[in-house]
């Protein structure tokens, strides 16, 4: 970290994760998935367990949802819902292979006492395409989620929503191309967005860290930040150096087996944002 880098403060978070008990790549719904390529289920479980342990070692709370047989992508908990101020907006998946995950996650929230749990009317794939930046919601669309989901987000959460069209099919969810580090700082891959999207991001964030091709291509942006610590793919070494130079603390993890389905640390981590009292 450079001597003039700003101080970054960590905030304890609560997360929901799903063990990859039934993880496999049996279909292809994004450019990363190769059903003919073998998956090491034991390695996937070890990598997931290490990610959970990493979150907990940083002072965060991790709850788990029971995986459902026949839903191999349920491990990607970020796609299960969006939770802001204790309000839950469920999801509606683009592809039928993942459709049943929506009900499983809604059931978890209802059984755990969340008072406001809303079913989605439009296609939205949860925190895969919906990121929180301070009081603003960023909503990706173009490959998975519908642009119309923005109105539903504003209605559910009462916050400003900025829609961002994704332009590169490799980065099919917003959380593969953009990571919110804190309310004023983010890292992103510029070619994943159109001109309007890049301009919108520049208007939201005071500081934008650009990922190089080699870091974006290992899903280095599919990362989890608590405001100081940034849990990201260990292969994204350039991003790690850039983060450290700006006062963040990179925390490398190996998610290579989950990457075979197009997922990383963020995909496996859904943040449970409870209502804060003033």
| Active-site residue, 268 included | no
List, for residues 172-207, the tens digit of each pLDDT value: 999 999 999 999 999 999 999 999 999 999 999 999
Tell me what pLDDT residue 4 has.
Answer: 77
Q: Which of 18, 179, 267, 268 is catalytic?
A: 267
Closest CA to 271 of 174, 177, 105, 131: 131
Q: What is the pLDDT of residue 1?
A: 53
**173: annotated active-site residue:** yes
Distance CA 20, CA 41 (A): 8
- How buried is residue 88: exposed, middle or buried, by Cβ count under 10 Å (0-12/13-18/19+)? buried
| pLDDT band, residue 277 (cuts 50/70/90) | very low
Q: How far apart are the C-alpha atoms of 154 and 150, rounded to whole Å?
A: 6
Per-residue pLDDT tens over the stretch 114-153 = 999 999 999 999 999 999 999 999 999 999 999 999 999 9
Range of 3-12, 26-35, 261-270 with top mean pLDDT:
261-270
Q: Which of 55, 173, 229, 268 is catalytic?
A: 173
| 221: CB partners within 8 A, 6+ apart | 175, 176, 177, 178, 179, 187, 188, 189, 211, 215, 232, 236, 239
Q: Tell me: pLDDT of 80 over 50.
A: yes
Q: Where are the domains of the chain?
A: 14-271
- Record the tokens describing residue 193, joined without a space: 């967005």
pLDDT of residue 278: 43
DSSP of 28-39, one letter per residue?
-SSTT--TTS--
14-271: CATH topology: 3.75.10
37 compared with 107, residue with greater pLDDT: 107
For residues 211, 137, 51, 91, the Cα torsion angle rounded to the nearest 10 degrees is -120
Which has the higher per-residue pLDDT, 6 or 211? 211
List the alpha helices (DSSP H) in the chain. 41-57, 101-111, 149-157, 195-204, 213-216, 237-245
Average pLDDT rounded to a whole number, residues 44-67: 98
């Amino acid at each position: 970290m450079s001597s003039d880098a700003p101080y970054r403060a960590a905030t304890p978070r609560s997360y929901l994760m799903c063990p990859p008990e039934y993880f496999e790549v049996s279909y292809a719904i994004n450019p990363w998935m190769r059903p003919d390529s073998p998956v090491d289920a034991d390695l996937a479980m070890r990598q997931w367990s290490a990610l959970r342990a990493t979150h907990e070692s940083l002072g965060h709370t991790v709850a788990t949802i029971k995986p459902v047989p026949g839903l191999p992508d349920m491990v990607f908990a970020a796609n299960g819902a969006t939770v802001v101020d204790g309000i839950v907006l469920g999801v509606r998946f683009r592809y039928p292979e993942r459709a049943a995950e929506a009900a499983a996650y809604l059931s978890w929230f209802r059984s755990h006492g969340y008072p406001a749990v809303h079913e989605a009317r439009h296609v939205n794939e949860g925190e895969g395409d919906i990121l929180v930046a301070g009081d603003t919601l960023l909503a990706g669309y173009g490959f998975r989620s519908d642009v119309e989901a923005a109105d539903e987000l504003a209605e559910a959460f009462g916050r400003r929503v900025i829609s961002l069209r994704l332009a590169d099919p490799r980065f099919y969810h917003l959380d593969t191309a953009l990571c919110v580090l804190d309310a004023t700082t983010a890292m992103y891959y510029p070619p994943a967005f159109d001109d309007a999207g890049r301009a919108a991001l520049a208007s939201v964030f005071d500081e934008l860290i650009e990922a190089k091709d080699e870091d974006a291509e290992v899903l280095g942006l599919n990362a989890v930040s608590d405001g100081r610590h940034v849990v990201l793919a260990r292969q994204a070494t350039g991003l790690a150096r850039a983060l450290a130079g700006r006062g963040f603390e990179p925390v490398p993890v190996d998610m290579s087996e989950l990457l075979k389905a197009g997922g990383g640390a963020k995909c496996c981590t859904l943040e449970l944002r409870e209502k804060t009292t003033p």
